[in-house]
Copies of this chain bind each other. A is one copy, B any other.
Amino acid sequence: MTMNGAQSLLRTLVDNDVDVCFANPGTSEMHFVAALDDELRMRAVLGLFEGVVTGAADGYARMTGRPAATLLHLGPGLGNGIANLHNARRAHAPMVNIVGDHATCHQQYDAPLQSDIETLASNVSGWIRRSCATASLGADAASAVVAARTPPGEIATLILPADISWSEGGTAVGKQPVPGALEPQAEAISLVAKLLRSGEPTAFLVGNDVVGDEAALATVDAIAGAHAAKVLAEVFPARLRRGAGIASVERLGYLAEFATAQLQGLAHLVLVGAQSPVSFFAYPGRESDLVPDGCTVHVLSEVEESGPKALTALADALGVASSAARLAERAVSDRPTGPLTGGSLAAAVAATLPDHAIVVDEAQTGGIWASPATAACAPHDWLTLTGGSIGFGMPVATGAAVACPDRPVLNLQADGSAMYTLQSLWTQAREGLDVTTVIFANRSYAILNMELSRVGAEAPGPVAQSMLDLTGPELDFVALARGMGVPAVRPDDAEGLTAALERAQSEPGPHLIEAVIPSGF
């Protein structure tokens, strides 16, 4: 069978295990869209805005370890997706962006939609290629998948001129081998073994390939237990396995003050695929580097190397069995009563969290109690704002639900952040995804109220305050959700919230619960 470029592209993607495409297409992508009917193994999921598309691909990648494709319309379409691509890049999420462009011969004319796609793509992509010939489009796509999947995972962006897509002569490329993570370095393992034996105060700071892996968490916990060391995770992990039966790990605090306290007194900090800790923002008169004076930073494994293998080798060197890990015990949480607060909201989540839930946490200040409250719940995954670019929660929840149709997804979502990519709800409704969104409605950019004083801008005036205020008018998330086909409620108290959570989880499809917590915490 002869194929056009688009058909060869789709077949190549699917044959290389990329079988979900989050899409917001335009005219230059119409041949790709038409070819979807010739490659029914590809699941195409429409988003009404490109930030939904790229965030969904991030959530999908975090849960499967495999890339989804995105389909984006020229530079502006990629631009709309940049913020969630930024988060995905920080999460080392594998992803293959297909960015349509004008036909090759059309680019000389500077038509209205023309722009420099490469500069936009370079901001977030580890691999970029502009496809130049229909015959090699399949090979380009296969290279993109391999680049995306090569550990630690990255974003590959393939720019696809319309004529390359529509011309005949496409050749699909079969499944290509993907390299695994690099082996850990023996010298690094010996060095860390030695310093652990020294008994000096030591902590591990573990990255994404450890926190997403129960066995690796057990290994590092067993090592730490045997040597009186501490285990810390990065502030914003891509996917943290936690709950009953899993070795728990303490996340480094977002606030530099908390992180400093966690790191205080250390003689050694051992990085396992993690970055050396720095404050999220700089503040006048404070250090950005959070490593305490007198503490030496060591690298057990680089991000391209296998952290789990490095930990196994280290445990072997130390004679520690991972069965010695201290696993979290299951505790059943009481159902909260009384008014809605950050605390009762967290308690309601803990009391109702289903087994094997995927929690997407963009609750910001309102959600600070949710993570500690759920530590002893049934096993679950916790996905966080890796790149700090808000508007990640609803799209990532959408993509996680596509990735794991048998697992319930709970999106803890701040109100201000929800408004960046609210269109996700429509995709959730259209695809019938089991996502329960809880809006933490404090009617404010509350985190900025805190930051406003932390940066030294004391006693903000009324104009400054109005810039952080989301009242006048208040957002009605129940109406907004219903407007996109998602059933929604606004409970009055903690009992109502708990009941709403249980109802949402017992019914198929998406639900939204607006929890108004005016005090903020």
A475 within 8 A of B: yes
Interface string of A265-286 (1 = CB under 8 A from B): 0000000000100111110100
A492 at interface (Cβ–Cβ under 8 A)? Answer: no
Q: Answer whether residue A82 sits at the interface, using C-beta atoms and an 8 A cutoff.
A: yes
Residues on the B chain within 8 Å of A236, using CB: 112
B166 contacts A102, C-beta separation under 8 Å: no
Contacts of A281 in B (CB 8 A): 27-28, 102-103, 106, 111, 113, 162
Interface segment, one of A179-187, A214-222, A331-339, A465-473: A465-473
Say yes or no: B113 contacts A473, CB within 8 Å: no
Among residues 139 to 195 in chain A, which have CB atoms less than 8 Å away from a CB atom of chain B? Answer: 162-163, 166
A390 to chain B, nearest CB (A): 8
Residues from chain B with Cβ under 8 Å of A457 in the complex = 30-31, 33-34, 166
CB pair B111 A25 closer than 8 Å: no
Total interface residues on A, using CB and 8 Å? 99
Which chain B positions have C-beta within 8 A of A482?
A: 476, 479
B123 touches A122 (CB 8 A): no
Chain A 104-119 near chain B by CB (<8 Å), digits 1 or 0: 0110011111011001
Q: Is there contact, CB below 8 Å, between B122 and A116?
A: yes
Binding stretch for chain B, among A12-20, A43-51, A313-321: A43-51
Task: Encode contact with B along A436-470: 1 for CB under 8 Å, 0 otherwise.
Answer: 00000000000110011001110011111011101
The verdict on A426 contacting chain B, using a C-beta distance below 8 Å, is yes
* Residues on B with beta carbons closer than 8 Å to the beta carbon of A34: 452, 457, 460-461, 464
Q: Besides A27-B455, A120-B123, 9 other CB < 8 A contacts?
A: A31-B455, A37-B460, A111-B279, A111-B280, A113-B281, A429-B473, A475-B483, A476-B482, A479-B480
Q: In this assembly, does A228 line the interface, its C-beta being within 8 Å of a C-beta of chain B?
A: no
Bound: A153/B46 CA distance, A = 37
The reply to whether A448 and B25 form a contact with Cβ atoms under 8 Å apart is yes
CA distance A464 to B33 in the complex (A): 5
A130 on interface, CB distance cutoff 8 Å: no
- The answer to whether A166 touches B284 (Cβ under 8 A) is yes
